[in-house]
Amino acid sequence: MPGRGKGEEGRALLEVKGLRVAVAGNEILKGVDLAIRDGEVHAMMGPNGSGKSTLAQVLAGHPAYTVLAGSAQYEGKDLLDMKPEERARAGVFLAFQYPVEIRGITNSYFLRSALNALRRERGEPELDPIDFLQFLEQKLKAIGWDDSMMNRPVNEGFSGGEKKRNEILQLAVLEPRLAILDETDSGLDIDALKTVAETVNRLRNPDRAFLIVTHYQRLLNYITPDVVHVLADGRIVKSGGPELAQELEARGYDWLRDGVMVS
């Protein structure tokens, strides 16, 4: 596929320019610029209410948000013009901060429906339940997990950690080109956090970019990002390398808030 080379020369996989977004009449994002290239891992950090989750949800197409201005190009196409399912089929994946329970539908049935929707888009044959189970077994093996969650209704009665793990499992099965993790680390104890981080690391490859939205630096102890951004009051106020995350851990966010705009 063209445009997949890592580095400065290729076109960015995701290019967000001047994005302004409101929810229920309140402007949350006030002009966000962001470029993510193939295979890069970006961390989006920032204090509560800075707009991190809004950015994640808007990129996935959540209907509650209104785009006021700006653009988001994904693989050179207008991402904001696409329905959520079209974005997913094009390779955009959002790991939810609050995964939703779906009564009566087993995880396995749900995953197969989702995978087949993607396969239809790619012109690949759909997997029947038996083929899917084999495919799933390989995936589970690759990330070192068992199938204990597969025959339970989606997220129903799952613990917080199980819900987050389930999001990462979907990531592994659906193999997106751009994976957005919305506070996947929140609510996880240290063991669960390590498990999730290890899995994400295994899923890193030159054809898959990550946007990791997090409030805390601790996830970045296990996943080393290429770029770290700080979002404050709806704008990216600072971007840097992995060392920026450490600096934020040491100094907090306040020193960036007083109108300091560094990029």
Per CB under 8 A, residues contacting another protein are 60-63, 83-85, 87-89, 93-94, 96, 99-105, 110, 113-114, 117-118, 121, 153, 170, 174
C-alpha 18/C-alpha 31 separation (Å) is: 4
Tell the smallest beta-carbon distance from residue 232 to another protein (Å). Answer: 27
Of 151 and 224, CB closest to another protein: 151
Those residues with Cβ within 8 angstroms of residue 67's Cβ, 6 or more apart along the chain or in another chain? 19, 20, 21, 58, 80
Phi and psi (nearest 5°) for 195?
-60, -45
C-alpha 245/C-alpha 218 separation (Å) is: 9
Tell the smallest beta-carbon distance from residue 63 to another protein (Å). Answer: 7
User: 202 and 20 in contact (C-beta within 8 Å)?
Assistant: no
Of 45 and 118, CB closest to another protein: 118
Of 106 and 246, CB closest to another protein: 106
Of 10 and 101, CB closest to another protein: 101
Tell the smallest beta-carbon distance from residue 74 to another protein (Å). Answer: 14
User: 81 and 167 in contact (C-beta within 8 Å)?
Assistant: no
C-alpha 190/C-alpha 93 separation (Å) is: 24
Tell the smallest beta-carbon distance from residue 126 to another protein (Å). Answer: 12
Tell the smallest beta-carbon distance from residue 260 to another protein (Å). Answer: 35
C-alpha 151/C-alpha 148 separation (Å) is: 7
Of 38 and 182, CB closest to another protein: 182
User: 66 and 21 in contact (C-beta within 8 Å)?
Assistant: yes
